């Protein structure tokens, strides 16, 4: 076949085929004329192998030559050839400092496992280091659960590996290598997925109750979701307080958040986390700045350009865009209703990555003294797509919508007292009444008692310093 036909059948562009020929990764074709060569099934198989290495195994082109050399050299036993493939595909762990006791114990554990299983493993097998690094990390994590003995996993994997190798036995060395690549990479992903499905079922068998099933279904109906951090979406919140220590105790006690140590570099700022993921910030109030106040930040692609448009849309610039180390760039604007809104242009720190689970924010809302002005401001400055939910004299409410998902709301609060205006957020809890009672136990206050609404059972509360936020839990009135 000619090169055009080889390209068509293999799916590899002609320019790429020529590059492989120049690099010696693909054998030269049979010359027919001075300017044309013919190619056969061997070239087609070789292109399939190269594609598997590059696209499935993510092996750099520079590293493919050693693998192909072993494939072509029939003096290299199949076991050695497959070892070359496996080692090229194995991800190397991060370097571990010497004299690390956890690492030494883990390496001894790996060696013992190999001996107990009677496995024939070379001393430089990358999988040794991968397993040792994972075991060492588990030893350093005090809260890591004790899993089944390694021998249980090893015996299961030995049986599986035997079936895998038996299934890829091929007379053609190129096909054997390609089968090994696809099997190692794709079937490892299959195994991980099956393992997680089995874990979910095992958890359900041991721990689940009828109430859990009902709760999960209700959460699904209520649209619990991963955090949408598209431009204009709420992506962070932080607290300015005169008593960071009291705030630390209150929020960890209420939501089960964990609190990091305060950073001297950032003026005592620290983060709260939920299940290991950052959920909110907290900082000592600066002299002359508002205190006992939660601030909300919207994600933007370019903080400097975005904030400069605020004055033309009826707002003000409270703080120009400024970089925060390599984390991102922030700014603060004042909207037409007088509410402060933060801007966050993420770099290394994206903000909140989840929303809606217990202990995480479920909704963000602006209570505005200038409803119409606020809608125009957020539409023009942040590119919001706004959908009106209610437009009666008694209740005016609109929401920010992105790809069919509602991300934040704006309520006409022109008749409200000034203390209740501005941005706020709701935290999802399993039981609003229990959470409200816990607020009081921890020294906070309940401003609005838990009450049923079409969007859940809600309460307005304040922490011991007076910073206001809201609780939200499921109820029978929530939309399906």
Weakly modelled stretches of the chain, pLDDT under 50 = 92-99, 143, 215, 218-225
The architecture of the domain spanning 227-473 is: Roll (3.10)
Structure-block tokens of residue 437: 């009672």
Separation CA 156–CA 198 (nearest Å): 14
Burial (CB count within 10 angstroms: exposed 0-12, middle 13-18, buried 19+), residue 19: middle
Burial class of residue 365 (count of CB atoms within 10 Å of its CB; 0-12, 13-18, 19+):
buried
Residue in the block written with tokens 């190692």: 184
Measured between alpha carbons, how far is 328 from 298 in angstroms, rounded to an integer?
13
pLDDT of residue 404: 72
Rounded Cα–Cα distance for residues 51 and 24 (Å) = 15
Q: Comparing C-alpha atoms, which of 59, 56, 43 is closest to residue 1?
A: 43
**Bridge partners, residue 334, by sequence:** 316, 340
Sheet holding 468-473, edge to edge: 386-391, 396-402, 405-412, 361-368, 422-428, 468-473, 456-462, 445-453
């Amino acid at each position: 076949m000619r090169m055009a036909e080889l390209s068509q059948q293999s799916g590899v562009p002609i320019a790429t085929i020529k590059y492989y020929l120049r690099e010696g990764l693909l054998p030269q074709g049979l010359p027919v004329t001075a300017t044309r060569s013919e190619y056969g099934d061997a070239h087609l198989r070789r292109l399939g192998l190269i594609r598997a290495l590059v696209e499935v195994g993510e092996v750099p082109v520079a590293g493919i030559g050693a693998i192909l050399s072993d494939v072509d050299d029939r003096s290299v036993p199949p076991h050695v050839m497959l070892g070359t493939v496996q080692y090229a595909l194995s991800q190397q762990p991060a370097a571990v400092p010497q004299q690390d006791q956890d690492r030494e114990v883990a390496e001894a554990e790996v060696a013992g496992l190999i001996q107990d299983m009677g496995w024939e493993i070379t001393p430089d097998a990358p999988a040794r280091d991968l397993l040792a690094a994972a075991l060492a990390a588990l030893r350093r994590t005090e809260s890591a659960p004790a899993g089944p003995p390694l021998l249980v996993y090893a015996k299961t994997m030995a049986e599986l590996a035997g079936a895998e190798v038996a299934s890829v036995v091929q007379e053609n060395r190129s096909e054997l290598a390609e089968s090994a690549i696809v099997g190692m990479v794709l079937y490892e992903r299959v195994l991980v997925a099956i393992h997680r499905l089995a874990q979910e079922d095992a958890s359900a068998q041991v721990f689940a109750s009828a109430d859990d099933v009902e709760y999960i279904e209700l959460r699904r109906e209520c649209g619990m979701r991963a955090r949408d951090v598209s431009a204009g979406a709420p992506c962070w919140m932080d607290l300015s307080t005169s008593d960071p220590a009291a705030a630390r105790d209150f929020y960890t006690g209420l939501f089960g958040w964990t609190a990091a140590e305060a950073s001297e570099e950032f003026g005592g700022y620290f983060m709260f986390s939920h299940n290991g993921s950052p959920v909110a910030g907290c900082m000592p109030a600066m002299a002359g700045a508002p205190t006992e106040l939660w601030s909300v930040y919207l994600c933007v692609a370019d903080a400097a350009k975005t904030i400069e448009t605020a004055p033309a849309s009826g707002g003000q610039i409270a703080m120009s865009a400024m970089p925060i180390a390599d984390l991102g760039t922030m700014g603060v604007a004042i909207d037409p209703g007088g509410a402060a809104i933060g801007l966050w242009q993420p770099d290394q720190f994206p903000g909140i990555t989840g929303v809606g689970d217990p202990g995480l924010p479920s909704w963000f809302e602006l209570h505005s003294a200038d409803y119409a002005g606020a809608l125009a401001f957020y539409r023009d400055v942040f590119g919001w797509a706004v959908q009106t939910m209610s437009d009666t004299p008694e209740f005016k409410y609109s929401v920010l919508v992105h790809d069919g998902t509602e991300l934040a709301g704006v309520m006409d609060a022109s008749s409200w007292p000034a203390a209740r205006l501005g941005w706020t957020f709701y935290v999802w809890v399993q039981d609003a009444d229990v959470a409200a009672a816990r607020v009081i136990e921890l020294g906070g206050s309940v401003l609005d008692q838990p009450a049923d609404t079409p969007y859940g059972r809600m309460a307005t509360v304040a922490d011991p310093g007076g910073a206001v936020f809201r609780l939200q839990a499921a109820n029978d009135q929530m939309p399906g």
